[in-house]
Amino acid sequence: MDHVRDAVPAARRVVVKVGSSSLSTASGGLDPGRVDALVDVHATNTAAGREVVLVSSGAIAAGLAPLGLRTRPRDLATQQAAASVGQGLLMRAYTAAFARHGRIAGQVLLTVDDVTRRAHYRNAYRTLRRLLDLGAVPVVNENDTVATEEIRFGDNDRLAALVAALVRADLLVLLSDVDGLYTGDPARPGARRIDEVRSTADLTGVGLGRAGRGGLGTGGMVTKVEAARIATGAGIPVVLTAAGLAAAALAGEPVGTFFPGVPERPAARLFWLAHATAPRGRLHLDEGAVRAVVDRRTSLLPAGITAVDGRFTAGDPVDLVDVGGRAVARGLVNYDAAELPGLLGRSTVELAAALGPQYEREVIHRDDLVVLSG
pLDDT tens profile 73-99? 888 889 889 889 999 999 999 999 999
- Cα 88 from Cα 266, distance rounded (Å): 37
Nearest Cα residue to 158 out of 96, 101, 214, 234: 234
- For 250-303, how does the pLDDT look when each residue is reduced to its tens digit (9 = 90+)? 999 999 999 998 887 877 778 878 887 789 999 999 999 999 999 999 999 999
Give residues with Cβ within 8 angstroms of 371, minimum separation 6: 293, 294, 297, 328, 329
- Name the β-bridge partners of 5: none
- For 191-214, how does the pLDDT look when each residue is reduced to its tens digit (9 = 90+)? 888 999 987 777 765 655 444 433
- Name the β-bridge partners of 51: 13
Predicted model pTM: 0.81
Domains of the chain: 2-265 (3.40.1160.10), 279-371 (2.30.130.10)
Nearest Cα residue to 238 out of 250, 247, 248: 250
- Residue 11 CB-half CA count within 13 A: 32
- Name the β-bridge partners of 332: 317
The mean pLDDT of the chain is 86
Q: Looking at the predicted structure, is the pLDDT value of residue 121 above 80?
A: no
